[in-house]
Amino acid sequence: MQTTFKIIGFTDKVNECDCCGKTDLKGTYAIDVDGQEMYYGSVCAANTIGMDTKSIKKVVSQIKTFENIDLAMSQAKAEATQVKIYIQAMKKGYSKNEFFIKYGVIDHVSKWETYYNFAHLTHAIEIEKIN
């Protein structure tokens, strides 16, 4: 049976490694191991998942970015602000589907995309006319 790992994030609240029992760590990586939440120091995390610590840090930083986007979205009242966050989120690699599932399709974004597609189509027709 294959074990599945999911990096949840980094926490400075847990300072003991669930893997080797080392204590006084600056923090640990929260990792979902087959559905169970474990806290591993960076070396054990790297060995367990089979990723180098640099890559794990990158994943954690990406998670943090997404969390910040989620937080900003939860506080954004104006649609214009939501659109700005949406654009940022797409630039940072947030998946469009995930975003829409979480927040619902922002009316303005979908309109904007419709306009864009429509403009694109209109433009294509214009070029055809010129030629």
Q: List residues binding Zn ion (CB under 5 A).
A: 17, 19-20, 22, 41, 44
Rounded to 10°, the helix 107-130/79-91 angle is: 70
Query: Least Å distance between CB 25 and Zn ion?
Result: 8
Q: Give me the amino acid identity at 65.
A: T
In the complex, minimum distance from the CB of residue 49 to Zn ion, in angstroms, rounded to a whole number: 13
Q: Which is nearer to Zn ion, 7 or 73 (CB)?
A: 7
Neighbours of 41 (CB within 10 A): 24
Instruction: State which residue, 39 or 99, has the beta carbon closest to Zn ion.
Output: 39
CB atoms within 10 A of CB 83: 17
Q: Which is nearer to Zn ion, 9 or 68 (CB)?
A: 9
How far apart CA 33 and CA 74 sit, in angstroms, is 29
Question: 54 CB contacts (<8 Å, ≥6 apart)?
Answer: none
Q: How far is the CB of 24 from Zn ion (least distance, A)?
A: 12
| Cβ-based nearer residue to Zn ion, 48 or 88 | 48
| Minimum CB distance to Zn ion, residue 17 (Å) | 3
Q: CA dihedral in degrees (91, 93, 97, 103; nearest 10)?
A: -70
